[in-house]
Amino acid sequence: MSESNVPLLELKPQIIEEDDANGSSLSTRIWVESKQLWHIVGPAIFSRVASYSMLVITQAFAGHLGDLELAAMSIANNVIVGFDFGLLLGMASALETLCGQAYGAKKFHMLGIYMQRSWIVLFICSILILPIYLFSTPVLKLLGQPSDLAEMAGKVAMVFLPLHFSFAIQFPLQRFLQSQLKTAVIAYLSLVALVVHILVSWLFVYGLKLGLVGTAITTNISWWVLVFGLLFYTICGGCPGTWCGFSFEAFSGLWEFVKLSTASGVMICLENWYYRILIVMTGNLANAKLAVDALSVCMTINGWEMMIPLAFFVGSGVRVANELGAGNGKGAKFATMVAVGTSIIIGIFFWIIIITFDSQIALIFTSSEVVLKEVKTLTILLAFTILLNSVQPVLSGVAVGSGWQSYVAYVNLGCYYLIGLPLGFLMGWGFNLGVKGIWAGMIFGGTAIQTLILCIMTIRCDWNKEAERASVQIKKWEEETPNH
């Protein structure tokens, strides 16, 4: 790994060598590390499940309006908003490297500067990708979606514009707070936003009879409740030492920040968009509406459960970044092992649930017998997707905490788009296996290979060298930030 590609933080080089045993048994060390991990992961799971549940509730309300409404909301949520969500979430993930390592190195004043830089970069990016929302209907038609489905999904996408801009503020705020272990406030505010969402959804859909547009409006309201709550907590005294007020210093060093944010964005986007593309490809099959309905139900369930491994993505990233920032390579390695092992156990648990209950889980979203029957045929693929995703996001979190985003971006590009998608296309259309063939090809051709490569990268990593590189980076950023 060249010196220019290592995590963008510097400090006086030092490696803190810890005695592995440290006078304690392995079980004690696992228990101690697990407590530190779950201090981040527990609230992160709750807040992510609560936030995603807002989208699930929106989709459930749409599904009970009709099959076309369910498909339109699914396309708007999973393709249009999903594209946007993945890009901005990925770019904000640069803060997991920067804030996490700075916090571990006790350079607390830098966290607020990093977050403000992220706000600037993400807001500019939000402006640049507005055409995705404004021209979503013709884009969906160009991608082969049925005309009536594209028209309705395009209208929903336009209503989601306030949601789009909320991402640019919310995602950096969450990373800023998570990196300093202030996770409880995110969980509490997510609960408040979820309660607001449920009440407003009932009012708009059943009280005011606003239909599909009403379901989309409720999502905007609840997500902005969360944004304003996090912002108020941060700037009104919740983060003394790490938030020192708005500063023009945030405009310094922007280019280096943009490069790391872009690498993070590409890495996460290539993962996030992969299964979104599955829905677009399914829209080109015969009887597309039924296929999209069934697949969207499975993808929503997968996305719901995915909030758990994504919380481990955050947890592993923060723990690894904190340890590397403190110069403790062995601690980073041990944190990785505990995070991966815990997430795999949880993945096996949900694999069993999906296999056991197959089509019953779809009753949340639809009562259509044909859709329920189609979902049942897809549950085995859903179960294996969930199992693989119990490992892959955690390893991606380790990569973010270590600053390997650019390398993992290349891995994702090769595995997902040069192997997985062509194999899915071949199995779906070449072997006439339809949506099951597309999905199977993408799982076993893309996700499985990507997970294997990330495992090899992590196993072969020299953690002491990573700690040196992380330590060598903070001073540069401090020198690029005036008055510090």
Say how many C-beta atoms besides its own lie within 10 A of residue 410's C-beta: 12
Residues 6+ apart with CB under 8 A from 13: 468, 471, 472
Answer for the pair 217, 204: CB distance below 8 angstroms, yes or no.
yes
| DSSP state letters, 351-402 | HHHHHHHGGGGGGGT---HHHHHHHHHHHHHHHHHHHHTTTHHHHHHHHHHH
DSSP string, 7-46: -S-B-S----PPPSSTTS-HHHHHHHHHHHHHHHHHHHHH
At 294, list the tokens: 């069934």
pLDDT value for 10? 39
Distance of CA 147 to the CA centre of its chain: 30
Token reading at 280 = 């677009």
What type of residue is 31? Answer: W
Structure tokens at 83: 């594209």
Q: Where are the alpha helices (DSSP H) in 143-287?
A: 147-159, 161-179, 184-202, 211-233, 254-282
Give the pLDDT confidence score for residue 482 in this predicted structure: 54
Distance in angstroms (rounded) separating the CA atoms of residues 292 and 366: 13
Secondary structure class of 244 (helix, strand, coil): coil
| Of 140, 130, 156, residue with least CA distance to 58 | 156
Residue 171 vs residues 116, 139, 226, 301: alpha-carbon distances, Å: 12, 27, 11, 22
Tokens representing 362 are 């779809």
Following CA atoms 383, 384, 385, 386 in sequence, which dihedral angle do they give, to the nearest 10 degrees? 60
- How far, in Å, CA of 455 to CA of 408, rounded? 12
Name the pTM for this structure: 0.77
Rounded CA separation 41/342 (Å): 11
- Cα torsion through 404, 410, 412, 418, rounded to 10: -170
Task: Find tokens 């299964």 and name the residue.
Answer: 275
Q: Measured between alpha carbons, how far is 393 from 389 in angstroms, rounded to an integer?
A: 6
Q: Positive or negative, the Cα torsion across 426, 429, 431, 434?
A: positive
CA distance 158 to 345: 40
**Sequential DSSP letters for 212-241:** HHHHHHHHHHHHHHHHHHHHHHIIIIISTT
The Cα 453–Cα 392 span in angstroms is 10
Amino acid at 447: T
Query: In angstroms, rounded to a whole number, what is the distance separating the alpha carbons of residues 150 and 451?
Result: 34
d(CA 361, CA 69): 20
Integer CA distances (angstroms), 348 to 351, 380, 391, 441, in order: 5, 13, 11, 21
∠ CA 334-337-339, nearest 5°, is 110
- Of 385, 448, 394, nearest to 416 by C-alpha is 448
State the Cα–Cα distance between residues 311 and 47, nearest whole angstrom.
9
pLDDT of residue 168: 93
pLDDT at 30: 92
- Bridge partners of residue 472, in order along the sequence: 10
The answer to whether residues 231 and 243 touch, using CB atoms and an 8 Å cutoff, is: no
pLDDT tens, residue order, the chain (484 aa):
433 343 444 333 333 344 444 557 888 999 999 999 998 899 988 888 888 788 778 877 887 777 788 778 878 877 788 778 878 888 888 888 888 888 888 888 889 999 999 999 999 999 999 998 999 999 888 877 788 888 988 898 999 999 999 999 999 999 999 888 888 899 999 999 999 999 998 898 788 888 888 888 998 999 999 999 999 999 998 998 899 888 888 888 788 788 888 888 888 777 777 777 777 777 677 666 677 778 878 887 887 888 899 889 888 988 998 898 888 889 999 999 999 999 999 999 999 999 888 768 778 777 778 888 888 888 899 999 999 889 988 998 898 888 888 888 889 889 988 999 899 889 988 888 888 888 898 888 888 999 999 999 999 999 988 888 877 765 665 565 555 4
Q: What pLDDT does residue 468 have? A: 83
SS3 content of the chain, % helix, strand, coil (to 5): 85, 0, 15
Residues 6+ apart with CB under 8 A from 349: none
Please identify which residue in the block is written with the tokens 């990233």: 317
The per-residue pLDDT for 58 is 82
